[in-house]
Amino acid sequence: MTKPQLRTQILSRREALSPEVRAEYSHKITQTLTSLPQFLTAETIHCYLSFGTEVDTSEIRLAAFAAGKRVAIPILEKNTPILKHCIIQEHFEFTNGHWNVPVPTGIEVGLLSAEELAMTEKDIIIVPLVAFDKEKHRLGYGKGFYDRFLQHEKALKIGIAFSLQEVGQIPFESHDEVLSMIITENPQY
């Protein structure tokens, strides 16, 4: 199966989950993630802003703020294949940006390159994904933003997903980044 076919199949599965089940599973994923020793010791949590049927990341960010951590989010800019990053505060509000991905609104924020963000091996990057396999390969949305970002990062790379997004094998290419860990609503990962 090609990556686009697999993407369509798994997104259809994810969209079939009811909002109540997605909320329940998202809460379980958050509990597992925020109880990790690595989360407790991390200084910076880089966490995407969820949208659509993705695992809801709002509780993760709230837990990071409550623990006094620096919270960064990715920003997708039009006409560039490179992610930018923004340090956010708990009071920030968001609106839909490019590709309907949420972005801060009403506040002038500074965009940072990955180098300026300066994450270390003590930090965590929460990575969105469409599908994953047991070898911790991920299938993203097909634009390569995260593969380019993760390529040079030393931080712990954690994919979060619902267990129904697991497949036998993700078609893997040399530029695809392998995750450090994947967390679902089931404790087996």
Write out pLDDT tens, residues 86-135.
Answer: 999 888 887 877 767 777 886 666 788 999 999 999 999 999 999 999 99
Residue 189 falls within a domain, yes or no? no
Residue 181 dihedral angles phi and psi, to the nearest 5°: -165, 155
**Residue 51: pLDDT over 60:** yes
Residue 95 falls within a domain, yes or no? yes
pLDDT at 127: 96
Q: Which residues partner with 83 through β-bridges?
A: none
DSSP secondary structure letter of residue 119: -
Q: How far is C-alpha 115 from the chain's CA centre?
A: 19
pLDDT at 110: 79
CB 124 within 8 A of CB 46: yes
Model-level pTM?
0.92
Cβ neighbours for 12, distance < 8 A, ≥ 6 positions apart: none
Residue 11 falls within a domain, yes or no? yes
Residue 37 falls within a domain, yes or no? yes
Residue 73 falls within a domain, yes or no? yes
Q: Which residues partner with 182 through β-bridges?
A: 159
Residue 25 dihedral angles phi and psi, to the nearest 5°: -65, -40
21-41 burial, b if ≥16 CB within 10 A, otherwise e?
ebeebbebbbebbbeeebbee
Question: Per-residue confidence at 68, pLDDT binned at 50, 70, 90?
Answer: very high
Domain total in the chain:
1
Q: Which helix (H) or strand (E) holds 126?
A: strand 124-127
**Residue 189: pLDDT over 60:** no
The parent domain of residue 160 ranges over 3-183
pLDDT at 71: 97
CB 166 within 8 A of CB 131: yes
DSSP secondary structure letter of residue 16: T
**Residue 187: pLDDT over 70:** yes
Residue 188 falls within a domain, yes or no? no
| CATH classification of the domain holding 48 | 3.40.50.10420
Question: Per-residue confidence at 53, pLDDT binned at 50, 70, 90?
Answer: very high
pLDDT tens digit sequence for 130-172: 999 999 999 998 888 898 999 989 999 999 999 999 999 998 8
